[in-house]
Structure 1
């Protein structure tokens, strides 16, 4: 959520390539200064030159690697011409680890993180491996049949509107509590958050195909374009203009 009441900054600078997968949004390109804001996603920034991020107490966090905890008011005072920005779902294992490290050890990271100059998906995978070494999810071949069924059903359910965990559990043949536990364990984020990320993916897909924001929002199961706008601002501190057709998107739905 933007705590300053104004726009989050020059989103038009966030061009180039972007990646969206359940629990992860990433951009690579230039990082511009922003207004003060806060967002639910844990934000990891790496750059070829030093960044300066101000927290709500006036503290400056300067370095080529900065992690902003979930829901922490901040602004980018000095950006970088070349960098990568990754938002992690704070309810995921990697997001929770990155959030806690920033809270307890400071926002400036001293260890070398995967950075620019590499394929964006590789950078994201490297960041997740850095914060959570070793396997963090069950291999696709080992997923419970109920989870496989749920993943097949969810795209249609998400596009149709609200998704009921109870109804989905009944359709895949397990209890609601069992589905909730299995989903978080094997996919990496809770079902309700997966549904929200899936809606964002659908909205971007529709914008890329030529829909206006209102049509894309309705097609992705949002109540209206205002609902989509609130969601992107709350999760990333960014306006839906980041869904621009001029951004090259990698829409990875595998998780």
Structure 2
């Protein structure tokens, strides 16, 4: 069975909504929310135990296989990000568990995919106001190219590299390196969606080669770059995907 649907990248998450296809046992560095849109979803673990429910939560690094009958919403979240920390603290400690009803109600299953977990992220207990210097440094990184980008961004806002990294961890909830990796993966997906080859997308996004891109995409999100070729950066440029 083929996968068919759409992707959206956030600052520390990626979401897929559509029909789920065949998948083997896999694990990834992100936490996973699985919400059935046409009925319950099932997560099978490596020991062959299963958990079934309308919305399930899989902790990072857990070997699992998704069994969805029809359409589903899948959200992969960096565990150190604000949403990830909230999910990790407000769900059961098991590797796979049913998502609590109060959290499930905060997930938007229709409408703009980019806003699917906006309500989950709206909790001041898990975040701080953005430091102005960090905001300026992130803008510099997003609009600049070349080597030693973090060092140059730190110099631009009169911070040491270590201080800039500390601010990123504190305010973004993930390390600056992970934030940059997510940005690169998003750029690669957009390049693929625009018609670039895998090799071209890898170079455009700053990866050493297509193998590096493929390895990074699988490690972070558990999907291949071609499966994420429909990823979007804005609501004005939606693309659907259909992959083996």
What TM bracket, shorter-length normalisation?
A: 0.7 to 0.9
Residue 160 (1) aligns with residue 140 (2): no
In structure 2, the residue matched to 1:207 is 192
Alignment counterpart, residue 144 of structure 1, candidates 127, 131, 134: 131
Specify the SS of the correspondent of 1:67: strand
Is contact 2:28-2:219 (8 Å) kept?
A: yes
Report how far residue 14 of structure 1 moved.
3.6
What residue is the counterpart of 2:159 in the other structure?
Answer: 174
Moved over 6 A (4+): none
Give the total of aligned pairs: 230
Task: Compute the displacement of 1:149 (Å).
Answer: 2.3
Counterpart in 1 of 2:238? Answer: none
How far is 1:193 from its partner? 0.7
Displacement of 1:224: 0.5
1:124 aligns with 2:117: yes
1:54 matched to which residue of 2? Answer: 44
Alignment partners' CA distance in 2, 1:249 and 1:109: 27
CA positional deviation for 1:116: 2.3
TM superposition score normalised by structure 2: 0.83
Unaligned stretches of 5+ residues in structure 2? 236-244
Instruction: Give 1 or 2: higher helix fraction.
Output: 1
With over 3 angstroms needed to count, the CA separation of the structure-2 counterparts of 1:126 and 1:196, relative to structure 1, is same
Structure 2 residue 207 is matched with structure 1 residue 222: yes
Q: TM-score, normalised by structure 1?
A: 0.80
Deviation at 1:102, TM superposition (A): 4.8
Inter-partner Cα distance in structure 1 for 2:99 and 2:87: 10
C-alpha separation in 2, matches of 1:101 and 1:34:
28
Displacement of 1:174 after TM fit? 1.0
